[in-house]
Structure 1
Amino acid sequence: MRNHHQTQARRTAEILATLFATLALSGCGGSNSGTDTPSASAQAEGVTVPLDASGLPDAQASLVIEPTYHLAPVLLDAPDDRDVQDNSASALAAPHAQGLSASQSALNTRGLTVQAIESAQRAQALSTASGEAATPQASTSTVTTYTPAQIRAAYKLPALPAAGTTPTATQAAQLGAGQTIYIVDAKHDPNVAAELSTFNQKFGLPTCTSKTIATSAKLPLASATTSEGCTLSVVYSTASGTMSSTAPLYDSGWATEITLDVQWAHATAPLARIILIEAPDASLNSLLGAIALANSMGPGVVSMSFGANEGSWISSVDSAFSGSGMSYLAATGDSGAAVYWPAVSSKVVAVGGTSLSYAGSGTRTETGWSGTGGGISQYLATPSYQASGVPGVGSLARRGVADVAFNANPSTGQFVAVIPSGSTTASWVSAGGTSLATPQWAGLTAVANAMRVQAGKAVLGAPHAQIYGQIGAVPGTYASAFADITSGTNGVCANCTAKVGYDALTGLGTPNATSLLSALLGSTAVSTAPVVASATVSGKAGVALTFTVSTTAANPVSYALSGAPSGMTIASNGTISWAKPVAGSYAVTVTAKDSKTALSGQGIVTVVIASASTSQAPVIKASALSGIAGKALTGSISVSDPGGYAMAVTITGLPSGILLSVSGQTITLNWAKPVKGSYTLNISVKDAVGLTAQTSVPITIAAQ
């Protein structure tokens, strides 16, 4: 994601003129200013959101924003046709792998276009022909590229119905039927419909019918219906948030962004209505106008794969994200650790990026992508949903970005069909960037909305409270709905490394879509993870310690310890044993895993072991005894240990006939028929940590 100031004075003047002419408007388009949540049966009408950008400084007003995608620097072999007849055929296969030469690897992947890749290929061919490169270059790295079926399998998205079959109402909802996704971009892609058609045909996805929206259409639009299937509409916005009949100018970079956004939003929610809104230029103001137009058109999910460096001005345009029944998602950026608007808005779901590894079976693995944006805002306060109860959040100083993540590394990219302007032939590329992750999360949100509407519930709107409070803060639900990304870095800073729980690279993590959708629907079925009660246990060095953890679970569980000191074990019933504790304080994580659901819960047991070196030796209290031969004699010896340790008592010199009994720490001596004479009892006491005490007790028995 990259922003730069326009250096030409004429261009700057044009942008500023547009800005000051349009930001004075209190609102644009629309016919309803209500803010009620839409009902389940009929979504509420849209609302026009006034944009008060009067506080924008000139530097931000003249920002020109570039698309955020990356392409692997190679044109791919065309995908095979296995998915044409069976749209899930490639799901179990390994992803496409293609090598890169050294010259290809040297290309910058950010904002790369098919034209630029072809130009580099021609330059390399000319070099080879002129003798500058006598032998073919060996591959120095490999690009891995995934199909829609492989992504659906890896992220556990609902299965597509077989090609040619009519989906049930439940299946249709799982594909986003009846929902609208707004793709907001700048400039123009004249081939977006043809590219989407090529993409759909190759991967056996539902087709999309092109549908024109007249510039005079009454807003908000009629809600999408569940029976119409996918439709694609392209509208041109103005900086004032209205529709224009004039197409923006073509730009190869923005056109690539547009087509990957449309294709992968559709791949994720194949029956959702897609409305592509093309802003006339890439100025901040024009993109705000495109967002305003989406708000005017009615409830839906807005996907934004663009951004600008955050600044003190961002709060002045935050009202752009207040549409009724609207969900807003934005890319966190592709330049490493940084915070960008609009992702930083507390009303926007900020989407970060990962590097995916999935071989067609088993569980996917991911690391935080080195290029993903993310960080801590310098300007926005910590929103209430980023509470300390969410794992890993702690006490964020301000708004943390990202919220969630998806595959974004172009070297572990996803197929996109691109038809350059003036051509009719599609080239296949491996696309990445958080701009690829964003439309997929937009599609996932549209699917969640469709499932909620089918269940008689309102659409999500801003889903932060759900994904943080109802999912992230509930251990079992979090473990089921998200894959927590715990490795990877996007820079050198305190918040630049992925870790357990929330982190700035990947937020809460990437979706396990089936469980996530169930949780967003309101099901409690995924909230059955074991609960392990945290506790503090005290012990003493050298004294065997045994205790049992308290666990609540629906099914039998297995236990594991992490952070445990050497020699500590846990049994199948949750009993922890440590034969020879060592002084110190230990935070031991106890994990209980449900034997049926495979969900896990954790608790922290703090074990504090006191040092033996601070203990005192045992204490013996006993007095001399005297008696008369033949008459019963009784006496007592008391022992104690200041450290509270167990003791072993040894008594020697006992005359025949004396019986000993023990009660607590008192030893009672009973001699029924003492015999005349003098005797000495030698008493030795040793406690569990090896400290000893000794004393002698004289016994004198006189004659009758």
Structure 2
Amino acid sequence: MILQRTPATLRPGRRLLRAAGALVAATVVGATLVAAPSSATPLAPVPVPVDGTLTAPAVVRNACATARPGHARCLAEGRVDRVARQAGLEASAATDRLVGARGTGALATAATRPPGYGADQLRKAYGLPATGSTATVAVLIAGDVPHAEADLAVYRATYKLPPCRSSTGCFRKVNQQGRAAPLPPGDPGWALEGSMDVQMVSAACPTCRILLVEADDPSLVNLAAATETARRLGATVASHSYGADESAFALTVRYPYRSDRMISVVSSGDFGFTTASFPAALPNVIAVGGTSLRRSTNARGWTEKVWDFAGSGCSAYFAKPAAQKDRNCAMRTVSDISAVADPQTGVAVYDTWENPFGEDWVVLGGTSTSAPLVAGMVGAARAGRTLRTNALYGRSAFVNDVVGGTNGFCGGDYLCRGLKGYDAPSGIGTPRGLRVFTG
């Protein structure tokens, strides 16, 4: 399949609206959405399988802009091709009708599936239970996610997950200092990232509590401060779907990720075999790589290979963990484990606040998908307080080995290819149930 990337074409404050079956550009003026002149014609209906999967070649765009020095970039990538847009339009319109007429309760019996893998499919692919732990999983994000709780309610109702509300203590949103207000300003790309993260944690652990901690901005300093707040507020697992090239400066903000009471689960990056990403390069975090996940007739029912852009690399700053025995990287190798990340085989996400990709239901990928999925799995396993990265390397019996695919050029080496056993893009493999986190 051909996977293309396109630059962002909508500035913050602009989005695509549904209008008479067409996609029309609009501008926010004050509190009013004003439609811009457009020659857009309605998109022709496209067939979408009843399970929500999309197989047409993807055109992909990054949700967040390139980061400034000393700042991180969110790693969500969205499908903007015609098939994904039309499927998202139809699912969004159906959701609007059901919620408007009968509330979110109507979604649990709706026949229309959003495009992309849903929570039920993800649990089947990785052998996850539907119930379990009530551990607190923190999601670290930059800026506010204004509709996080409401959008999470729609996602969970769509896939028949139990409600997770702030009124019951299941969901909590705080600022960098751990207070409910004031919250930082929102950014459309980071807000979409936040929506995906809390929904992926929900998919992997429907009974976990979710703590959304919003840093003042994407600076590494403030993201580190927000990470410390998550630990202080009792989270046992923290999900970080962002990254920056590792550097000497990163050494100064590494300490909050090193807690012995909370394990950090981090995206490996979306730029293939290249400079190692921070904080994934830290030896005491779980760096999560990415795969392409597809249905199969094999015993598992699924196959995976290395995603073309899954991050992998060899650290220039951080020592190799004792459990890593790979030979061609003297320092820390990224990554440790992996899960679905390819937008071509992406996941369904619901986001209604200034969504940079237009429709409320979108198909997303990137290692921004795999990290919160794995964080939710760690939470479901009740392993956040005790799990150490080194322990994963002795549990290869509890993973799906990822063989095939490449994320760059390294002479066929394991640093950029999916090979039997450990390889850098997929780590030890993808979880097969929760025992990889508990032994």
Aligned partners of 1:187, 1:96: CA distance in 2, in Å? 27
Choose the corresponding residue for 1:63, options 57, 70, 76.
70
**For the structure 1 residues 61 and 202, does the alpha-carbon distance in structure 2 shift closer, same or farther, using more than 3 Å as the test?**
closer
Mapping for residues 5-84 of structure 1, pairs under 5 Å: 62-73=69-80, 74-75=84-85, 76=88, 77-78=90-91
Equivalent residue number for residue 292 of structure 1: 228
Matched, 1:503 2:426: no
Choose the corresponding residue for 1:153, options 114, 124, 132.
124
Equivalent residue number for residue 191 of structure 2: 255
Displacement after TM superposition at 1:465 (Å): 2.8
Q: Is the 8 A contact 1:414 1:432 kept in 2?
A: yes
Aligned partners of 2:231, 2:211: CA distance in 1, in Å? 12
Matched, 1:369 2:328: no
**For the structure 1 residues 96 and 489, does the alpha-carbon distance in structure 2 shift closer, same or farther, using more than 3 Å as the test?**
farther
Displacement after TM superposition at 1:96 (Å): 7.3
| Structure 2 counterpart SS, 1:343 | coil
Equivalent residue number for residue 337 of structure 2: 404
Equivalent residue number for residue 357 of structure 1: 294
Equivalent residue number for residue 529 of structure 1: none
Aligned partners of 1:426, 1:367: CA distance in 2, in Å? 29
**Which 5+ residue runs of structure 1 have no aligned equivalent?**
1-59, 98-144, 161-171, 212-227, 453-458, 473-477, 523-704
Matched, 1:482 2:420: no
Matched, 1:447 2:380: yes
Q: Is the 8 A contact 1:353 1:407 kept in 2?
A: yes
Mapping for residues 126-165 of structure 1, pairs under 5 Å: 145-158=116-129, 160=130
Equivalent residue number for residue 272 of structure 1: 208
Displacement after TM superposition at 1:210 (Å): 1.4
Q: Is the 8 A contact 2:310 2:367 kept in 1?
A: yes
Displacement after TM superposition at 1:312 (Å): 2.6
**For the structure 1 residues 465 and 202, does the alpha-carbon distance in structure 2 shift closer, same or farther, using more than 3 Å as the test?**
same
Amino acid at match of 2:139: I
Amino acid at match of 1:407: V
**For the structure 1 residues 204 and 351, does the alpha-carbon distance in structure 2 shift closer, same or farther, using more than 3 Å as the test?**
same
| Structure 1 counterpart SS, 2:393 | helix
Equivalent residue number for residue 370 of structure 2: 437
Mapping for residues 452-471 of structure 1, pairs under 5 Å: 460-469=385-394, 471=395
Equivalent residue number for residue 273 of structure 2: 337
Aligned partners of 1:291, 1:442: CA distance in 2, in Å? 14
Aligned partners of 1:325, 1:463: CA distance in 2, in Å? 10
Aligned partners of 2:75, 2:182: CA distance in 1, in Å? 25
Aligned partners of 1:275, 1:395: CA distance in 2, in Å? 39
Displacement after TM superposition at 1:85 (Å): 8.7
**For the structure 1 residues 89 and 356, does the alpha-carbon distance in structure 2 shift closer, same or farther, using more than 3 Å as the test?**
farther
Aligned partners of 2:224, 2:260: CA distance in 1, in Å? 17
Aligned partners of 2:68, 2:353: CA distance in 1, in Å? 31
Equivalent residue number for residue 698 of structure 1: none
Q: Is the 8 A contact 1:191 1:421 kept in 2?
A: no
| Structure 2 counterpart SS, 1:406 | strand
| Structure 2 counterpart SS, 1:307 | strand
Amino acid at match of 1:155: Y
Displacement after TM superposition at 1:394 (Å): 4.0
Q: Is the 8 A contact 2:242 2:368 kept in 1?
A: yes
**For the structure 1 residues 407 and 87, does the alpha-carbon distance in structure 2 shift closer, same or farther, using more than 3 Å as the test?**
farther
Equivalent residue number for residue 650 of structure 1: none
Displacement after TM superposition at 1:234 (Å): 0.5
Aligned partners of 1:383, 1:85: CA distance in 2, in Å? 49
Amino acid at match of 2:313: G
Amino acid at match of 1:246: P
Aligned partners of 2:322, 2:329: CA distance in 1, in Å? 11
Displacement after TM superposition at 1:500 (Å): 1.0
**Which 5+ residue runs of structure 2 have no aligned equivalent?**
1-66, 96-103
Displacement after TM superposition at 1:198 (Å): 0.8
TM-score, normalisation: structure 2: 0.74
Choose the corresponding residue for 1:235, options 157, 161, 174.
174
Q: Is the 8 A contact 1:348 1:462 kept in 2?
A: no
Aligned partners of 1:519, 1:492: CA distance in 2, in Å? 30
Q: Which has the larger radius of gyration?
A: 1
Kindly indicate which of the two structures has a greater share of residues assigned to strand: 1
Amino acid at match of 2:362: V
| Structure 1 counterpart SS, 2:322 | coil
